[in-house]
Homo-oligomer: A and B are copies of this chain.
Amino acid sequence: MKKFINSVDAMLAESLDGFAAAHADIVALGPERKFVRRRSVNANKVALVSGGGSGHEPLHAGFVGTGMLDAACPGQIFTSPTPDQIVEAAAAVGGRAGVLFIAKNYAGDCMNFEMAAELFAGAAATVVTNDDVAVEKSTHSTGRRGVAGTLVVEKIVGAAAENGMDLKSCAQLGSEVNARTRSIGVALTSCTVPAAGTPTFALGADEMEMGVGIHGEPGRKRVALASADAIAEQMLGAILADGDGLSGEVLLLVNGFGGTPAIELYLMYNAARRILEQRGLGIARSLVGSYVTSLEMAGCSITLTQLDDRLTALWDDPVHTAALRW
């Protein structure tokens, strides 16, 4: 296992300490590192609290800041945060306008966020993201997995909350954005979970895992390595064949899994862009980078969100976090 690490047990704590120190102008760590919160809490707005297993950085702590999340609860690597983490985060950032929990659809996350919502003394609502079209159920979830589309939900609802939207409307908006968002991923290599010390799965030199989950969970099929264009065709084919499909103007997010550099992500973005334009879809907004990672996995996901004028305006609203700024 080749990682920058001192010990498996201390990895998360040390990385969080580094994150909080590097971005002390934006965030602060909660007691015992139970959560990362905005440095300046705004108690007059709906507070967005997300979280999940670590190993997906910058998701979620990198999205804490003005215009996006109010707090994020990091679990151990690929492990859900505990209900008490979530309750303490909500108490630290929530005010009279209430707290919106945003969880990705994994069994542990759903259970712990649900328990937290019950334990939390204030008003709360929950949005669960499940944008991954690859599989209908997986080793980690009942129903579809929540993956990189979670970023889109957090950004758009974050902007709405910043603008004063009430709790019920924020929850509805989050569900709407999630329903308009579809993702699929592909892995070229496996990640190695530090506590395991060996790769999560084995891939041949000429193989890739189409539909991989962000924890290295199996996808749709193990297939032969293909050209970037052919990979993008497979991925977008799966997304566009899903449900009623997408039309009109979309947000295109090409997300790296941690081990794939920018030169390849922009090439994949270019391949996806050409395919979408051939199919008559307009790319109204774009984002390219490693935002929802799987440790050092090489690979990427493609996410499309069907936009309308309101969602585009919320996407464009200012955001000031460690990982997203405009």
Q: Which A residues fall within an 8 A CB radius of B? A: 2-7, 11-12, 14-19, 21-22, 54-55, 57-58, 62, 188-189, 205, 208, 225, 227-229, 231, 258-271, 273, 283, 286-288, 290, 293, 295-296, 298, 300, 325-326
Task: Please name the residue on chain B nearest to A294 by beta carbon.
Answer: B261
Known: A18-B288, A296-B261. A267 touches B11 (CB 8 A): yes
Q: List 10 A-B contacts (CB under 8 A).
A: A4-B267, A6-B227, A6-B267, A14-B267, A18-B268, A21-B270, A261-B293, A264-B296, A325-B325, A325-B326
- Determine whether the beta carbon of A4 is less than 8 Å from that of B231: yes
Shortest beta-carbon contacts, A-B, top 10? A18-B270, A258-B261, A18-B266, A57-B262, A18-B269, A4-B264, A2-B188, A15-B267, A22-B286, A4-B228
- Determine whether the beta carbon of B6 is less than 8 Å from that of A271: yes
| Smallest beta-carbon distance A275→chain B, Å | 12
User: Per a CB cutoff under 8 Å, which of B17, B189, B268, B288 touches A270?
Assistant: B17
Residues of B contacting A271 with CB < 8 Å?
4, 6, 14, 18
| Smallest beta-carbon distance A254→chain B, Å | 8
- Determine whether the beta carbon of A4 is less than 8 Å from that of B295: no
Number of copies: 2
- Determine whether the beta carbon of B2 is less than 8 Å from that of A225: yes
User: Per a CB cutoff under 8 Å, which of B7, B19, B188, B229 touches A266?
Assistant: B19
- Determine whether the beta carbon of A273 is less than 8 Å from that of B2: no
Q: Which of A231, A287, A296 has the most CB of B within 10 A?
A: A296
Give Cα A264–Cα B15 distance, bound, in whole angstroms.
7
New contact pairs (14) apart from A5-B227, A19-B266, CB-CB < 8 Å: A4-B228, A4-B264, A5-B267, A6-B229, A6-B267, A6-B271, A15-B266, A18-B269, A18-B273, A22-B269, A22-B286, A22-B288, A55-B263, A264-B296
Q: Which of A12, A229, A267 has the most CB of B within 10 A?
A: A267
Task: Please name the residue on chain B nearest to A300 by beta carbon.
Answer: B4
Give Cα A126–Cα B55 distance, bound, in whole angstroms.
42
Known: A4-B228, A22-B269. A295 touches B17 (CB 8 A): no
Residues of B contacting A269 with CB < 8 Å?
18, 21-22
